Chain A
Amino acid sequence: MTSWLSRIFSVARFVRSGNASPSARRPSPLSRVGRQGVAFLAIAVSSARAEDTFFAKRVTPILEQKCVVCHGAEKQKGKLRLDSFAHLMRGGEGGPAVTAGDPKGSELFVRVTLHPEDEDFMPADSKPPLTPDEVKVLELWIAAGASEVIALAAIKGAPALAAPKAAVLPLAPDWRARAPQIAQLEKALGIRLVPRSMVATDGLVLRTASSPGRCDDTTLAKLAPVADLIVEAELARTKITDAGLAVVGTFVNLRVLDLTRTAVTSTGLNDLLALKNLETLNLTATAVDDSGVAALRQMASIKQTWVFETKAGGADNPTAAAKK
């Protein structure tokens, strides 16, 4: 089967398995990752010999992150590669990219310090520019002789490395494994279960805005197979009651809950105390009062509650209360 045919059949499979369409139309994120992976490998190989050099530790990561997409094995814009020391020194169309000891006379340095709107500014195409710290690192390195082997400690005054970004916390299990179930539930119940983002562990939004009148306590009860995937529940104007909140109390990863204009009362709110991640709760125009809301506001995770058009009060604002 040639490639287009297999592509179509994979689309077909995708649909039948009930997956949402988007990724079928986008270049697969995987292929992008793959490409970056290749670039990364190339660098890893070239610097493996000299683990603790300034070049390997400080310069390479910058070039790899911000330049190698266009100046690497895959693309060589301006005939320049920046994925190894040798390539860098060879330079591009305009000759050597770096003049040792002279940052201002080095094309590589000049390009990253131009005005961002300048045609010659690098990275091109409004890709994320270097931070002032990164520019400083390049400057110090070139000024110190642009050496491949100079030790990390030999160049003083380089800005500290930013703390590595905390890994993205999964908010819910990966929904893709349950795509067929999700599709079935959507169809059967007239609700939507929408991924919050391309990150498959960002969870789902339970969305009822198209026909809130169709969503009631029995609808919620049928969502048990995906209960742990729901991170946001938009239940405003639905027919749910306190009985439904008992089910909502099993949405263990729920963070945002909108109950505006539903028939819930303070009694039902007790079931929400089990939700250890609940941050935002909208109770506008419901029958709740302080007896139910007070306990919720004590929850460690709660950041915002709204009680406009209810009998409940708030500390600094009679209609809305923000904890922080």
Chain B
Amino acid sequence: MNPHSSDHPLCSDHGGEHPTVLDLPHVPLGLKREWLDLETRRHFLGQGVKALGWAGLATLLGRSAPNLLANSPIPGAPAFLPHYAPKAKRAIYLFMAGSPSQFETWDYKPALADLFDKDLPESVRGGQTLTGMTASQTRFPIAPSIYKFARHGKAGRFISELFPYTAKVSDELCVIKSLHTDAINHEPAILQLTTGNMFPGRPSIGSWLSYGLGAMNEELPTFVVMTSKMPHRTNVQALSNRLWSSGFLSPEHAAVALRSGSDPVLYLNNPKGVESDVRRAMIDGVNDLNRQLFERVGDPEINARISQYEMAFRMQTSVPELTDFSNEPQSTWDLYGPKAKEPGTFAYNCLMARRLAERGVRFTQIFLRSWDQHSNLPKNIKLMAEDSDQPTYALVTDLKRRGLLDDTVVIWGGEFGRTVYSQGTLTPTNYGRDHHPRCFSMWMAGGGVKPGMSYGETDDFSYNIVKDPMHIRDLHATILHLFGLDHSKLSFKFQGLDQKLTGVLPSKVINDLLA
């Protein structure tokens, strides 16, 4: 059926003359209404555009349209208003890809020291399926952490000596020790953390926030991703843009990946000899053609395309200002350390994240890879911690002293936990750990999260959760809650379902974590 032909037979205002979908038996009323709405909208797109003007369209299409339609009275109007006044306006997610071991970081298990090289009791493992990497091991010898722990902060939290800097902000952190996930391998587990689903094609957390709440700063992307230089490289996780894609949401909700080096956004600079006004004229021309196309076929993707041209043009001025660190005071360099001057390092990215937060970017995700210590864990986890500890502390401290931590939530963690038993040979100075989805630790700080708090407990082997399990979905529900969004209502209709970040399985906001 052609929705654009003028004698459209199913025009729903002729309901009295033709049988309509409403007359169909055995179809739930809700579905009929939905079908009618769809039909109405198509018809409307085909015929009504000129009558109502762009503003009307903008409203019907949600955020994608208004953004670019220069004469819209509602630039950047989001699909939702917060369901309740938010605590967090932005989030910075420090994604420790590869998964740091909980034993050497946040989940202190002093009793293990006496169990060095003892076999993990079968009852603890409870017949769990292991990865191919350790399934064939004949023994599962217990490997206590080689790193010591000490109490820190007013809360007296035990923190590993790997994080002397982060320990200084212990009282800002809410450490969760009882996260669990469904996937045992990196790619699906990272996807589940970033998009709520193990399968590619779903919108990332940042995309949901962009869709739900719109932009705070129209000159910069709402969702930014950065990957960091690694201090060493073993078992490096592949990262790809499916981790920060907008999935079935309009493409403008995808992250813009900031690269290190002189060209933070690819192809943003005008080619030699092309002045800004020439570029502007070109974009206007292309947009004009695209608008005509939109009027004819009514595909929202066309609007997304226009918006991307516009965003790119605006970023030609906003990005150079963003990436020019020359006005940073000396106190910044003292805090973040010398590596912050080297583009692409984790330290540089943390500083960039603070600058993005100051400018109103809603969601910044920084990936630091190579935490996947199947072997040589003691040596390699130290390299990773040394690279990231000071910048992490610096970011939390900097946000706090600038008054940004109250409404910026910082999230730190990997995609799953690691095993209590050694993968490969265990010696007093060396061991490895395999993947372990049943429990792992993360922390959050700021943005309405209860500071100084610990949540959840694992058994003596940090193998099973004994108190307050928190699934990834609960983490997502809680993050959305901080932004004032009800996870069960933030949805997008796709393939006949009300798609949500938290999906259809049970998920809940963890109220105990809220300040």
**A interface residue count range (under 10 / 10 to 19 / 20 to 34 / 35 or more):** 35 or more
User: Given A186-B73, A209-B217: A25 and B401 within 8 A (CB)?
Assistant: no
Which one, A4, A7, A187, A196, contacts B73 given CB within 8 A? Answer: A187
What 4 pairs across the A-B complex have the smallest Cβ distances? Answer: A209-B360, A306-B403, A282-B403, A209-B217
CB distance from A312 to the nearest CB of B (A): 13
Which residues of the partner chain B approach A319 to less than 8 Å between Cβ atoms? Answer: 401
Please determine whether B402 and A284 come into contact, CB atoms closer than 8 angstroms. yes
Which residues of the partner chain A approach B218 to less than 8 Å between Cβ atoms? Answer: 210
Which residues of the partner chain B approach A258 to less than 8 Å between Cβ atoms? Answer: 403
Please determine whether A11 and B507 come into contact, CB atoms closer than 8 angstroms. no
Which residues of the partner chain B approach A199 to less than 8 Å between Cβ atoms? Answer: 84-85
Question: Given A2-B12, A22-B78, A186-B73, list of 14 further CB < 8 A pairs?
Answer: A1-B13, A4-B37, A15-B59, A16-B55, A22-B77, A183-B73, A183-B74, A197-B82, A210-B219, A234-B360, A280-B406, A304-B403, A319-B401, A320-B401
CA distance A236 to B359 in the complex (A): 9
Which one, B331, B402, B508, contacts A306 given CB within 8 A? Answer: B402
Instruction: Name the residue on A nearest B37 (C-beta).
Output: A4
Which residues of the partner chain B approach A4 to less than 8 Å between Cβ atoms? Answer: 12-13, 36-37, 40
CA distance A221 to B44 in the complex (A): 41
Q: Does B120 contact A (CB under 8 A)?
A: no
Which residues of the partner chain A approach B80 to less than 8 Å between Cβ atoms? Answer: 22, 26
Q: Does B62 contact A (CB under 8 A)?
A: yes
CB distance from B471 to the nearest CB of A (A): 9
Which residues of the partner chain B approach A192 to less than 8 Å between Cβ atoms? Answer: 75-76
Instruction: Name the residue on A nearest B213 (C-beta).
Output: A194
**In the complex, chain B residues 328-383 whose Cβ is within 8 Å of any chain A Cβ:** 329, 331, 358-360
Interface positions of B (Cβ within 8 A of A): 12-13, 15, 36-37, 40, 44, 48, 52, 55-56, 58-60, 62, 66, 73-86, 215-219, 329, 331, 358-360, 400-403, 406, 484, 488, 506-508
Please determine whether B359 and A197 come into contact, CB atoms closer than 8 angstroms. no
Please determine whether A21 and B40 come into contact, CB atoms closer than 8 angstroms. no
What are 11 contact pairs spanning A and B, CB under 8 A? Answer: A15-B55, A21-B58, A21-B59, A196-B82, A198-B83, A199-B85, A210-B218, A236-B358, A260-B403, A280-B406, A304-B406
**In the complex, chain A residues 74-117 whose Cβ is within 8 Å of any chain B Cβ:** 116-117
Please determine whether A20 and B81 come into contact, CB atoms closer than 8 angstroms. yes
Q: Does A18 contact B (CB under 8 A)?
A: yes
Mark contacts of A196-230 with chain B using CB atoms, 8 A cut-off: 1 yes-contact digit, 0 otherwise. 11110010000101110000000000000000000
Instruction: Name the residue on A nearest B44 (C-beta).
Output: A8
Which one, B36, B82, B358, B403, contacts A198 given CB within 8 A? Answer: B82
Q: Does A309 contact B (CB under 8 A)?
A: yes
CA distance A321 to B331 in the complex (A): 18
CA distance A236 to B360 in the complex (A): 10
CB distance from A43 to the nearest CB of B (A): 24
CA distance A241 to B103 in the complex (A): 53
Please determine whether A2 and B403 come into contact, CB atoms closer than 8 angstroms. no
Which residues of the partner chain A approach B401 to less than 8 Å between Cβ atoms? Answer: 284, 306, 308, 319-320
Please determine whether A209 and B81 come into contact, CB atoms closer than 8 angstroms. no
Please determine whether B85 and A18 come into contact, CB atoms closer than 8 angstroms. no
CB distance from A1 to the nearest CB of B (A): 7
Which residues of the partner chain A approach B359 to less than 8 Å between Cβ atoms? Answer: 209
Which residues of the partner chain A approach B400 to less than 8 Å between Cβ atoms? Answer: 320
Instruction: Name the residue on B nearest A18 (C-beta).
Output: B73
* Of listed A4, A5, A8, A12, residue having the most chain B CB within 10 A: A4
Please determine whether A24 and B83 come into contact, CB atoms closer than 8 angstroms. no
Instruction: Name the residue on B nearest A186 (C-beta).
Output: B73
Please determine whether A20 and B74 come into contact, CB atoms closer than 8 angstroms. yes
Q: Does A14 contact B (CB under 8 A)?
A: yes
Please determine whether B59 and A196 come into contact, CB atoms closer than 8 angstroms. no
**In the complex, chain A residues 45-91 whose Cβ is within 8 Å of any chain B Cβ:** none
Which residues of the partner chain B approach A280 to less than 8 Å between Cβ atoms? Answer: 403, 406
Please determine whether B403 and A24 come into contact, CB atoms closer than 8 angstroms. no
Please determine whether A2 and B484 come into contact, CB atoms closer than 8 angstroms. no
CA distance A6 to B403 in the complex (A): 48
Which residues of the partner chain A approach B77 to less than 8 Å between Cβ atoms? Answer: 20-22
Which residues of the partner chain A approach B83 to less than 8 Å between Cβ atoms? Answer: 197-198
Which one, B12, B78, B85, B216, contacts A196 given CB within 8 A? Answer: B85
CB distance from B221 to the nearest CB of A (A): 13
Please determine whether B84 and A197 come into contact, CB atoms closer than 8 angstroms. yes
Q: Does A126 contact B (CB under 8 A)?
A: yes
Q: Does A249 contact B (CB under 8 A)?
A: no
Please determine whether B66 and A21 come into contact, CB atoms closer than 8 angstroms. yes
Which residues of the partner chain A approach B15 to less than 8 Å between Cβ atoms? Answer: 2
Mark contacts of A176-188 with chain B using CB atoms, 8 A cut-off: 1 yes-contact digit, 0 otherwise. 0000000100110
User: Given A4-B12, A198-B83: A308 and B73 within 8 A (CB)?
Assistant: no
CA distance A4 to B34 in the complex (A): 11
CB distance from B54 to the nearest CB of A (A): 10
CA distance A12 to B215 in the complex (A): 24
Please determine whether A12 and B56 come into contact, CB atoms closer than 8 angstroms. yes
CA distance A258 to B404 in the complex (A): 10
CB distance from B382 to the nearest CB of A (A): 31
Which one, A12, A25, A202, A284, contacts B62 given CB within 8 A? Answer: A25
Please determine whether A15 and B13 come into contact, CB atoms closer than 8 angstroms. no
Please determine whether B59 and A14 come into contact, CB atoms closer than 8 angstroms. yes
Please determine whether B37 and A116 come into contact, CB atoms closer than 8 angstroms. no
CA distance A12 to B57 in the complex (A): 9
Which one, B81, B402, B484, B507, contacts A308 given CB within 8 A? Answer: B402
CA distance A71 to B80 in the complex (A): 29
Please determine whether B58 and A197 come into contact, CB atoms closer than 8 angstroms. no
Which residues of the partner chain A approach B58 to less than 8 Å between Cβ atoms? Answer: 15, 21
Instruction: Name the residue on B nearest A6 (C-beta).
Output: B13
**In the complex, chain A residues 2-39 whose Cβ is within 8 Å of any chain B Cβ:** 2, 4-5, 7-8, 11-12, 14-16, 18, 20-26
Which residues of the partner chain A approach B36 to less than 8 Å between Cβ atoms? Answer: 4
CA distance A26 to B84 in the complex (A): 15
Please determine whether A195 and B403 come into contact, CB atoms closer than 8 angstroms. no
Instruction: Name the residue on A nearest B51 (C-beta).
Output: A12
CB distance from B511 to the nearest CB of A (A): 11
Which residues of the partner chain A approach B75 to less than 8 Å between Cβ atoms? Answer: 186, 192
Which residues of the partner chain A approach B216 to less than 8 Å between Cβ atoms? Answer: 207, 209-210
Please determine whether B56 and A284 come into contact, CB atoms closer than 8 angstroms. no
Please determine whether B52 and A117 come into contact, CB atoms closer than 8 angstroms. no
Please determine whether A126 and B506 come into contact, CB atoms closer than 8 angstroms. yes
CA distance A308 to B399 in the complex (A): 11
Which residues of the partner chain A approach B76 to less than 8 Å between Cβ atoms? Answer: 192
CA distance A23 to B60 in the complex (A): 11
* Of listed B55, B83, B219, B507, residue having the most chain A CB within 10 A: B55
Instruction: Name the residue on B nearest A207 (C-beta).
Output: B216
CB distance from A209 to the nearest CB of B (A): 3
CB distance from B189 to the nearest CB of A (A): 20
Please determine whether A198 and B62 come into contact, CB atoms closer than 8 angstroms. no
Please determine whether B508 and A198 come into contact, CB atoms closer than 8 angstroms. no
Please determine whether A15 and B56 come into contact, CB atoms closer than 8 angstroms. yes
Which residues of the partner chain A approach B484 to less than 8 Å between Cβ atoms? Answer: 197
Which residues of the partner chain B approach A202 to less than 8 Å between Cβ atoms? Answer: 85
* Of listed A16, A209, A236, residue having the most chain B CB within 10 A: A209
**In the complex, chain A residues 297-315 whose Cβ is within 8 Å of any chain B Cβ:** 304, 306, 308-309
**In the complex, chain A residues 270-320 whose Cβ is within 8 Å of any chain B Cβ:** 280, 282, 284, 304, 306, 308-309, 319-320
User: Given A197-B85, A199-B84, A320-B400: A8 and B48 within 8 A (CB)?
Assistant: yes
CA distance A224 to B286 in the complex (A): 40
**In the complex, chain A residues 104-139 whose Cβ is within 8 Å of any chain B Cβ:** 116-117, 126
Which residues of the partner chain B approach A1 to less than 8 Å between Cβ atoms? Answer: 13
CB distance from B125 to the nearest CB of A (A): 22
